[in-house]
Structure 1
Amino acid sequence: MRIAFLMAPEGVEQVELTDPWQAVTGAGHEPVLVSTRPGHIQAFHHLDKADTFPVDTVVSQVEAEDFDGLVLPGGVANPDFLRMDERAVSFVRDVVRRGRPVAAVCHGPWTLVEADVVRGRTLTSWPSLRTDIRNAGGTWVDEQVRIDQGPNKLITSRRPDDLKAFDEAILTEFAA
C-alpha cells in the first residue's frame, strides 16, 4: 500500500510524523512524504525545532488515486498552513471522495474541517478543535482513537500520548 503523509513545509509535530511512518514502514507499506513545496520539511518538538525530512513529492504533482490511504500528522502550525493551501485541501477532499481511509492526529483534523468532510462524522482531536469540528457539522468525542466508518474510514486520535493506539488502528483499518 502507498500511504501519503501530507505536511506543510514546517510545523509538523515530529513524533506525529515519525511514529505512524515507522508503523506503516514496519508493516511493509510505502509511506510517501507529500508537501506543498519541494525540499525538506521542518519538524518540531512542540515549539522547538527538531529534525528535517526530505519531501518525496509535492501535492500539485499527485492525485488521490495514487494512494491507498492518507495520514495527516498534527502540530499546531502544520494543519493551519495546510488548510490555507487550496491544493492540499483539494487533495484531502479527493482522497475522502475516493473512499480511501484517512487518519489524522492531534490538530490534523483542522485540514479535514477545511476540506468540508467532517459533516455527519464522529471524530476526536486535540480538545481545542472541538468547536471547529462541531461547527463543521461533525461530532467531537474525547477518546484515545475514534474510527468513523462513514463513506470512508476516518481514524482520528487526540495527542502524542495516544500514538500507540493510533498506529495500531491505522494499520488495521488501512489493511481492511
Structure 2
Amino acid sequence: MTKKIAFLTATEGIERVELTDPWQSVTDAGHSAELLSTEAGEVQTFDHLDKAETRPVDTVVGDADVADYDALVLPGGVANPDALRLDEGAVAFIRAFAASGKPVAAICHAPWTLVEAGALRGKRLTSWPSLQTDIRNAGGEWVDEEVVVDGNLITSRNPGDIPAFTKALLDAVG
C-alpha cells in the first residue's frame, strides 16, 4: 500500500543528501513524497556549506494537515533545523506529528526541531554530537549510535548513517 511521506525543511540550509537520499528510497519503495516548507517556491539545498540544487515546495507547512501523511522526515543541515525551530507553524506541525504516533525520522541536526516541539522527554535518540546537551536538557537520552528507534521517533547522526536511517523509516511505514 502506497504511503504519503512528508519531508519538512526551511527554505535554505538543507543538507542535500539528507533530503534527496531518503526521498529516493521512499519513492523507490513505491511511496509518495511531498516537500513541505515554511514558504512557497523552492528550497535551497547545500553540500555542507556549498549551495547545491534547489527543489520545488509542494505544500506550505501552515497549510498541511498531519492527517494527510503517514510519516514525517526531518532532514538536517545546520541552518535548516535552526530556521525551522523559529517558525511557529513548523514547530506546531512537528509537535502534532510526534504526538500522532506516526513515524517521525530526524537526521543529523534535525532533532533541534524535536527539542523545540517538546517531543523528547523520556525518549532515547541520536543526532549530530553537538546537539547532545540540548537533547538532554529537553529530557531525552542522547546516544552515539547509527540509528535509534524509540516509539515513533527514528534518529541518525549524519549522512554516513543514511542507509540505516532510510531502512528504519521504510520498516516503520510498512
TM-score by length of 2: 0.98
Q: 2:32 corresponds to which letter in structure 1?
A: E
TM-score scaled by structure 1? 0.97
1:87 alignment partner in structure 2: 89
Separation in 2 of the partners of 1:105 and 1:12?
Answer: 11
**TM alignment of 1:1-150, pairs within 5 A:** 1-149=3-151
> CA offset at residue 98 of structure 1?
1.3
Cα deviations by residue, 1:103-129 (Å, 9 ceiling, x for unpaired): 000001000000000000000000000
Shift in Å, 1:173: 1.2
CA distance in 1, matches of 2:99, 2:166: 23
Return the alpha-carbon distance in structure 1 between the equivalents of residues 45 and 121 of structure 2.
Answer: 30
1:8-30 CA distance string (max 9 Å, x none)? 00000000000000000011111
- Aligned position for 1:164: 163
* 2: CA distance, partners of 1:57 / 1:137: 32
- Identity among equivalent positions (%) equals 63
CA RMSD for the aligned pairs?
0.5
* Number of aligned positions between the proteins: 172
Q: Quick one: distance in 1 between partners of 2:43 and 2:113?
A: 17
- Structure 1 counterpart SS, 2:77: coil
